Each structure stands twice: as C-alpha cells, then as structure tokens.
Amino acid sequence: MEKNKKQPGSDRDAGTICWRSPSNIALVKYWGKRKGQIPANPSISITLNSSVTRTCLKYARSLPGRGALKRFSFGGAENAGFAQRVGKYLDSVGDLYPFLGDYDLEITSSNSFPHSSGIASSASAMSALALCLTSMERNVSGSPSEDESFYRKASYAARMGSGSASRSVYPGYVLWGRLPAVTWSADEFAVPLNDNIHDDLREMGDAILLVDESPKKVSSSRGHALMEDNPWSRVRYEQAGSNSVRLIDVLAAGDIDEFIRITEQEALTLHSLMMNSGGGYILMKPGTLEIIERVRRFREETGVPAAFTLDAGPNVHLIYPVSFRESVIGFIKEELLQFCPGGKWIDDASGKGPLQADDETSK
C-alpha cells in the first residue's frame, strides 16, 4: 500500500485520482448474506498481486447538488451497462460521501486480466473505485486523515459494492466478518491479519487454472440469495466461524497440513451448498474434478503442499508456498494444462495490496 497523505488545497475543486487494486481468493468462503451487505459468516482471503483493476476518477466541482456521473469507460470503451451499475453504486454510497452530489465525475477502468476469465472482477473493481472515492474525500475535505481510518472507510465502501471487495483493500491475509476471537473484526469492513503469520505461509503462489471461461449459469448474487432457504445454512455458518478461528491459528503456527485441509474443505463445501440450493446447481466441470484429483495425487506422491480452492465457478486456484514454485509449475504444465482450453492459466501470487497510481492513466 502507498501512503495517501495529500492535504486539501488545489485539489479541492478538481483533480484526478487513480488506484490499482487486486482481486483476492477466499480460503474461508463468504457465501450467504443479510440485508445491507452483512455477511452471514466470517471469511478469510489472500489478496493477489497481478490480477488487478486500474481505475481513474476525474472530478470537477459542479453546482451544489447538481453533480453527476458524466462518463464511464471500461477497457477503453464506453460501457452503458457498467455505467448504470456504477451510477447505482454511487447513489448507494451518497451518505458515506456526502460531497459527491456537488461534483461531476468521469471514471475510466480496466482489468489486467480478461473480463470473462472467471476471476472475480467485482472484488478488484469495487475496491479500486472505493479507494478512489476515499482519496477524493481526502482531497476535498482533508478526511479521513489517518491511514487506518482511510483504509477502513475504503473497505466499508467497497463492501457496499461487492462483499468480497472489502477484503481487497489490504495486502496478505484478510478477515471480513465479525469473529468474537478477533476483537477488532467487524461485519462492516475487513481487517488485515498479517501481524502473526508464520514465514512458511507468508508468500503464497496462486495458479489460476482456467477450465471454462463462459459466463456462469448462476450468478454469485443469486447464489448468496439461495442460501436463505438452504437447509444446511445454519450449520454452514457455524462451520465457517470455526474454520476461520482455526485458520488464524494455523497461519500463525505454519501448519501447512491443516491449511490444506481447511482450504480444500471450504472449496468443496461452497460447491456442495450450491448442489443443495434451490433445485441444486453445479458450477464445476469435468476438468475441475480431474484437476482436484490430480492435485491430491501429486501431493500424496511428492509431498509438495499445494491446495486447490474454487470460487463460485469451475476454475481452480492452486495455492502453494512460493518456495515450492518450481515443482508446482512443472506439475501444472505436465498434468493440469490439458484441462484448460488453450492451455490458459494465470500465474498469480499474494501481493502488496492496492497502490495509488495517480500518474498512471487507465485505458
């Protein structure tokens, strides 16, 4: 993260702010929510490095209360669908950023990864936008002046756009959702967990294996909603709580076997919840199962500690300590890419978190 300490002054009337913010991969999954974007259970993720959204926000003072979103472009082209979603989001955070109505805005955004690649783009996109809005607030009003409040506010606002985005404002391991064992945790914003991480689990690789890039049959929003009538939801929310507490201990102790057990159990639980929701639906593909089997066999045969996890889709994330990079990459090329059309995968890793990059333009 970069310090963002600009004082109000010439930037009060007009300016441009850019942030680059990464996607994240959940180890303990957020699946199910209550009104107001309150998660049904705590979740823990790793913030990634190279799967990022770059967003620039240009603002200029208008007449009081007459400001509007004038333009939104994505990947160099104006996009009416996204503009509508962003417009709605800006309305929903009007109370958090009361000055917004006095400014005209232009937003340009782009992803470092293909939009359809199956990477959760809402986490990087909504966190980048929330960081831009919070920087704008600092420029026009001088607050929040403390970095801690700055990132907390950005996380709160990112959550309003997409729950998982709340976690992307911090690097490393991040917890979102109230967990009594972590007194500073909250449902309204995420908190970083990096003070007590064993060296063996600090730097992690994430190989994203693109098994299928077609649009999902059931969106995440629909999936969250279906949890309300899922017969197992209460048990699941308790399980996520205990897995979160356990994972925090495991991260501190460097217990890689437990790390793998929890990560894989969470991924399979997420997909079993889908199979039990409504009429039941399956987002995994045959290639997803082939990869899961091979990952487990590879681990058994070589002892290399690589764990699979899944988002709400068919693509597999292979998480491993970077010290095992060479053997993991060899294994991916030899055994896994045959299940990824065109041999496509993304070589990502845990990263340093979002970066303010005002000198950079977003195409």
The residue written with tokens 């705590």 in the block is 42
Q: Looking at 17, 93, 157, 312, which residue binds ligand DP6 (CB under 6 A)?
A: 312
Nearer to ligand DP6, 163 or 321 (CB): 163
- What's the per-residue H, E or C state across 131-147? HHHHHHHHHHHCCCCCH
E strands, 62-203, in order: 69-74, 77-78, 103-111, 173-176, 190-192
Q: How many residues bind ligand DP6 (CB under 6 A)?
A: 16
Which among 47, 56, 176 is positioned nearest to 110, based on CA atoms? 56
E strands, 116-266, in order: 173-176, 190-192, 204-209
Q: How far apart are CA 179 and CA 185, in angstroms?
A: 6
- Tell me how far, at minimum, the Cβ of 128 lies from ligand DP6, in Å: 14
What x-and-dash track marks residues 47-86 binding ligand DP6 by CB under 6 A? ----------------------------------------
Question: Candidates 161-169, 182-190, 249-257, 295-303 — which segment interacts with ligand DP6 by CB under 6 A?
Answer: 161-169
Q: How far apart are CA 177 and CA 111, in angstroms?
A: 27
Work out whether 220 is an interface residue with ligand DP6 (CB under 6 A).
Answer: yes
Q: How far apart are CA 336 and CA 331, in angstroms?
A: 7
**CB contact at 8 A, 320 and 307:** yes
- Tell me how far, at minimum, the Cβ of 209 lies from ligand DP6, in Å: 16
Q: Looking at 84, 221, 338, 361, which residue binds ligand DP6 (CB under 6 A)?
A: 221
Question: Candidates 22-30, 149-157, 242-250, 275-283 — which segment interacts with ligand DP6 by CB under 6 A?
Answer: 22-30
- Take residue 299 and report the two structure tokens written for it: 């681990």
Which among 220, 234, 189, 236 is positioned nearest to 28, based on CA atoms? 236
3-class secondary structure, 48: strand
- Tell me how far, at minimum, the Cβ of 221 lies from ligand DP6, in Å: 4
- Take residue 222 and report the two structure tokens written for it: 């629909």
Q: 80-92 and 147-161 helices cross at what angle (nearest 10)?
A: 120
Work out whether 163 is an interface residue with ligand DP6 (CB under 6 A).
Answer: yes
Write out the binding residues for ligand DP6, residues 91-150 only, by CB under 6 A.
120, 122
Q: Looking at 17, 18, 26, 306, which residue binds ligand DP6 (CB under 6 A)?
A: 26
- Tell me how far, at minimum, the Cβ of 45 lies from ligand DP6, in Å: 6
Work out whether 187 is an interface residue with ligand DP6 (CB under 6 A).
Answer: no
Work out whether 43 is an interface residue with ligand DP6 (CB under 6 A).
Answer: yes
Binding positions for ligand DP6, rule: CB under 6 A: 26, 29-31, 43, 120, 122, 162-164, 220-221, 224, 270, 311-312
